Each structure stands twice: as structure tokens, then as C-alpha cells.
Structure 1
Amino acid sequence: MIKFAIVGMGHIANKHIQAIDQIDNAQVAAVCDTNIDRLKEFEGKYPIYKDLEDMLQKQTDIDVVNICVPSGLHAPLAKIVASYGKHIILEKPMALNCDDSMEIIDAAKRANVKLSIVHPNRFRPVIQLLQETMSKGMLGKLSHANITVRWNRGQEYYDQAAWRGTKQYDGGVLMNQAIHNIDLLLWLMGPVKSVQAMSATRLRNIETEDVALGVVEFESGALGVIEAATTIYKENLEESIAIFGEKGSVKISGKNANYIETWNIEGISDEKRDEYIDRIKEDPFGKPGHQCIIEDMVTAIKEDRQPVVSGNDGLAPIQLIEAMLKSSETGERIILGKEKEI
């Protein structure tokens, strides 16, 4: 039995609890939050703690700690968890900058614990189908890709908690909302060589950006466009990813990028395409992504391997977002991994 503790009992913690409850050989062993009012909901269900180290000292049988606190607190808490020799499941984004992200990775390596980052969109049925198709080279040489996050997050969303929309604890539309799509873009298209971007705070009273645009050059030579906004009136409009190559054009869309809009690939008949479309429509969400992530951690522990979404996977979108924000600030094209700008 793999025992999990959850730190940070806000909205997303419930997804972790629901996922763990569905997994054989996994159980919630404790929960932790500095807010006693949040803990009252779980009193009598699990051991509750107000302090992370107090929990780790008293419950030595904990195997994995799921960190669900505001993003700016990820690094200090992850380093504490690693120091106690516990495996880590870390909500997105793994941190709000590259330095903190690399410190988390280093802490996990030094402690010889496993680190998994929650990027659940990889497990959507349509994304799994796209990744399998691309891994076989069926789109041929890639020309470009496009991701869009056209969502609504009104002022009341940001006013729910003082940390929302702050640079220190939350991040903006890129780090908070679009990071899942940026993760998919990198997973499917490979590393980015350079980026030029613009961002702005147009409609929301927050410290961070509520709209951002970027043009990227991948190391392969392919190009990409990133569009992300929380300013869409009056509800979520679209989340999509489109990829174009010499032998195929694919677009995945819908309000949550769950459906096939275009699937034109050399060698794929109209009948086969329609079969894919119907199959995805029957089960657009599949097994919850959080459950996939947590199940993988259970298996990774038993098989003594790295999780499928590793710390390095979590770092990659942080590097790109940090470069986009730097480009927006300076007006320059940023070469990733290098100090110079062109």
C-alpha cells in the first residue's frame, strides 16, 4: 500500500483525493493546511495537520506527498518533503521560475526521491492519439504549430484569494492557465530554440499578464504560435492545438481541447478518420489525468523508475514562459539557454 499525504486543501486537492480513492494499493494517509477552517472539512476522515514538518515527523509511513499549495510556495515545500525522503507529486506549475524549478529537481535527486509534475492533459484520449500518430512520423516534416487558450477568468476569480494573479505566488495566464498547453506543445514538437513575445494586463486588476502572444522557433526548424488570454467575454471560448506537416494537418479543439476538429493525414481514409472522431466523442475525457499521474507514481515506486512526467518535463514549459516574459519586457527575441539576445 502506497500512502499519500496532501498539502494544501484548496479546490485542486479534491481531485487528488478522488484519484487516490480510485487506485488499488493507494490511500490518503494525512492532509495538511495552515488554514484550520479548510481542515475542518476533513476532520474524522484523515489525520489532519497544520504544519508540514510536524506531519512528516509524526507519520513516518507516508510514501508520497502531493503538493497543492499556491505555486509560489512549491519550491520551499518540495525541498522540505525531499529532505524527509518522501516522493513528490507537484501541481503545475512546478515553480514560478527556472531557478526554483532546478532547485526542486536537485533536491529530489540528492534525496533519491521520485518527482512527478501534474500535467494531466497529456492523458486526454485525443492527445494520446495525436502523440502516437506523431511518434510514428505520420505528419512528415513539420512546418508549424499553434496553441490557443481563449478563456474567461473574471475579476471575481482573481478576488477569491489574495495570492491569485500575483507575481510572487500565482503567475499570469501563461504560467497558470496556458502552461498545460505549452507542455503539450513542447511534448509534441520538441525543444524551442528561440521565442519573441508580447504580453499585457488589459482587463483584470492583477499584477500579472491576462493576455500574451508568442512566436517560437523549434530546434527542428518548425515554427509555432502561442496565444493565451483570460479576457474572453463572457465565458471560455476555445482551447486548441493545431499541428501542420508535409503529410498532415491536425487540429484538436473545443472548450477544453478534447475533440478532433481536423484530421487530414496521408494514408488515413475518411472512414478511419470518422472512426477516430466518433471514438473520441464517446469518451472525450477518458480516465482523469490526475488519476493517471498518481497511478504512474505508484507504479514508478514499485518498478523503481522515473515517473512519466518528470521534473525535467515540468521545467521545460517554465523555461519557455520565463523567456516569453523576458521577451515581452525587453522587446527582444530570446535564445533559450543562452544569455545573449538577438
Structure 2
Amino acid sequence: MKKLTAALIGCGRIGTKKHIEAFAANSDLIDLVAVCDLVPEKAERAAEEYMKRQEISLVRGEKERIREKKDTQHGQEIDSSSPASECDLQRPVVISDYKDLLSTNIHFVTIATESGNHYKNTIDFLSAGKHVLVEKPMALSSEHMDEMIALSREKKLKLAVCVQNRFNPPVQELRKAIDSGKFGRVFTATARILWNRNEEYYKQASWRGTWAMDGGTIMNQCAHNIDLLQWMLGGEVQEIFAMTENYNHPYIETEDFGAAIVRFKNGSIGIIEGTANVYPKNLEETLSVFGEKGTVVLGGLAVNKIQTWRFEGEDSHPFMNLPDPETVYGSGHITAFEDFARAIIEDREPFVNGEEGKKSVEIILGIYKSAREGAPVRFG
């Protein structure tokens, strides 16, 4: 099978850490041929990180090859594979203007630029005939999200949103329990994101904490857990009532705390609490689901382990003892990138397509509107 070619657009923290990791882990499906950032030094670092990860994979693969090499045929050892070589490693081209990629024949791009640029970047690449995997949030307005989805349909291209925590094994287990009817009726779910974001975090990038390019704690830190909450409760949103506040970050435009109640048309209710004010460091990110026959709480550093699993005759689960990932970003990018590549190859919908990625952002926009107006926001 011929591999897909791809480019990374945006080499900040997420791009250089998680996107590069995911590209390297999926090198059997994808060739990363270019990395792009307005700051050339950032793109250079991303290219170097990719090569480093590729070299590590090469060494691991060679060790596996040596272990598996001893196939026997008529009692003789034979070498069943040719050795890997550093010559096989191709360094991505470093680019400072993503428009230089629009006329190339790459298959897809991943977009990890500032949130406020996701819309324009996506539209430009879809218009140029490229599939797009965009980081959350897919855009900062309903109109922009609708335009992105419509263009992907018109061009018959794949559009996916990277909400990688949906791929966490405990999250998948929870969804299976809901789909199988194990909970009976699901009543409520609570998403809590109790983190710390200090002044240094915001000074790392001038766009952070701005309305035009970022959004606040609810749009940024809480987006993944809000996505999981709505995915578990399902159905369409009926009403949102919310409050937000900036308690401790006078140097940003946006909120550092938010709380909301979300009523769904199926009768279930979601409760959201998010803050960037926890002293002195991140405390928890949890998702709790309560039904007539079961209770499940997911936690860990990146909603990556089961803390509570209670159904009739069950009070434990093997996923209670899973190790934490290195960062709050978790390890789901690897699976998300694989799913997107296979969606292109198999000509199917990605697991989290544009319509799915839009749902959590609509809730967040509703939270902001309710907080501004001091009243519930009702959906049609």
C-alpha cells in the first residue's frame, strides 16, 4: 500500500510534541514531508524531533527484526527481512508560509496553529483539495464551522477534529457501557477540569487568553471534557445556563473560571466546572456519569483511567490501574492520526468528523452567550 503524504501546519507545543509523536508512530501509513511555522526555528525543532523519533523507532524495529530473524527452513536459519537503514529516513522540508504547500500533491495536513487561525487554514487547504485534520476547537464561531463542513462535503474531502481523548480505552469502555444499556437510563454527567495556568503560560504566546484568537478556560482547557460529556449524554442541547469570571488573571481578556448546566432534549443534564486557578498545580480532570443502574467516574492525568466502576455485581475494572501519560494531552493523538489516515485510504468518515467536532464548540459558545446575557440560552 502506498503511504499518504502529509504536512504539519503550526509547530508550537501541541504540534511539536503530540502531532510529531503521532506522525512518527504512524510512519507505516504516513510520510511527513513538510513542517510549517511562521517562526522557522520552531519548524526546524519540529523536523529535528521527528527525525529523533524516527531514529528511535528504527532502533526498536531493528531489535525486533533481530529477535524475529531466526525463521527456520529445513533446520537452517534464514533472514526473512532486509535490515532497516538510516537512509530510509527522510527529513521533512521546513516551510515558513503554508501557502507554499497549497499547490503541492500532499494528501492531507494537520493544523495545530492558533485557535483563531483554524478556520482560515482549513478553508485554504480544503479549497486546494487537501484533506484536513484540525486541532480543537475546529473554529471559534458557528458560521465558520458550518462553512468548513460544507466545503469539505462539496470537495468530497475528509475533515476531522482532533479530540483525542475519545480514543482513550477507558472512554471507549464507558461509551460501550452506555450504548449496551448497562446504565439503564442515563440521568446526569459532570465534567470537572480543575487546573492551573499561570502567567508564564500566557506569556509563552501573545494570542493566549484573547477572544479573537483563543477563548478562555472553557474554550481551551475544558474543550475535551465538554466533548466527552456531550458524547456520553447524547442527543441535542435544549438549554444552557452558565456563569464565568476572571478571578486571578488580570492580564488576559477571557475568563479563568466557568460553570454551566446543560439540559439535553433527551432529558439528561450535564454539569460543567472549569478553572485555571487551582493552587499550586493541576488537581483533576474527571468525567462522572450517573444512571439508574450504574456509576462511572473517569480520571487520571488525561481522563485515561477508571476511578469508579459500579454496576450490579461489578465494583472494579482492569482500567483502574492504567498508568498516566506524560502530559495532559494523553496518548490519543496516535490513534486519532491512524483513524484519519485509514478514513482517507478506505474512503469512510473519520471517527470525529466535522459535524461531531462542532457539537462541543456549540455548547461552549452557548456557555459564553449565557454568561454574557445572565440568562439561560435556549436552542431550537
Does structure 1 conserve the Cα–Cα contact (< 8 Å) formed by 2:122 and 2:148? yes
Which of structure 1's runs of 4+ aligned residues deviate more than 4 A? 283-287
Match of 2:31 among 18, 27, 30: 27
Residue pairs, 1:5-16, within 5 angstroms: 5-14=7-16, 15-16=18-19
Q: Which residue of 2 aligns with 1:242?
A: 288
Does structure 1 conserve the Cα–Cα contact (< 8 Å) formed by 2:108 and 2:130? yes
Q: Which residue of 2 aligns with 1:257?
A: 303
Displacement of 1:253: 2.1
CA distance in 1, matches of 2:93, 2:200: 33
Match of 1:199 among 213, 236, 244: 244
Percent of pairs with identical residues: 37
Alignment length (residue pairs): 329
Cα RMSD over matched residues? 1.7
1:221 pairs with 2:270 = no
- Matched to 1:164, the amino acid is R
CA distance in 2, matches of 1:32, 1:95: 20
Q: Partner of 2:177: helix, strand, or coil?
A: helix
Provide structure 2 residue ranges, at least 5 long, that are not aligned to the other structure. Answer: 49-89
**Structure possessing the higher radius of gyration over alpha carbons:** 2
Q: Which residue of 1 aligns with 2:128?
A: 84
Provide structure 1 residue ranges, at least 5 long, that are not aligned to the other structure. Answer: none
Worse-superposed segment, 300-309 or 10-19? 10-19
Q: Which residue of 1 aligns with 2:217?
A: 173
CA distance in 2, matches of 1:297, 1:112: 15
CA distance in 1, matches of 2:296, 2:238: 23
Does structure 2 conserve the Cα–Cα contact (< 8 Å) formed by 1:89 and 1:117? yes
Displacement of 1:285: 5.2
Q: Partner of 1:177: helix, strand, or coil?
A: coil
- Matched to 1:281, the amino acid is N
Tell me the TM-score normalized by structure 2: 0.83
- Matched to 2:296, the amino acid is V
Displacement of 1:283: 4.9
Q: Partner of 1:263: helix, strand, or coil?
A: strand
Q: Which residue of 2 aligns with 1:117?
A: 161
CA distance in 2, matches of 1:130, 1:153: 29
CA distance in 1, matches of 2:309, 2:181: 15
| Distance verdict in 2 for CA 1:38–1:282, change over 3 Å | closer
Residue pairs, 1:86-165, within 5 angstroms: 86-165=130-209
Q: Partner of 1:195: helix, strand, or coil?
A: strand
Displacement of 1:35: 1.3
Q: Deviations over 1:169-213 (max 9, x none)?
A: 111111111000010011110132111000011111211111000
Does structure 2 conserve the Cα–Cα contact (< 8 Å) formed by 1:116 and 1:307? yes
Q: Which residue of 2 aligns with 1:4?
A: 6
Q: Deviations over 1:298-324 (max 9, x none)?
A: 111111111010101111011111111
- Matched to 1:39, the amino acid is A
Worse-superposed segment, 30-39 or 250-259? 250-259
Q: Partner of 1:227: helix, strand, or coil?
A: strand
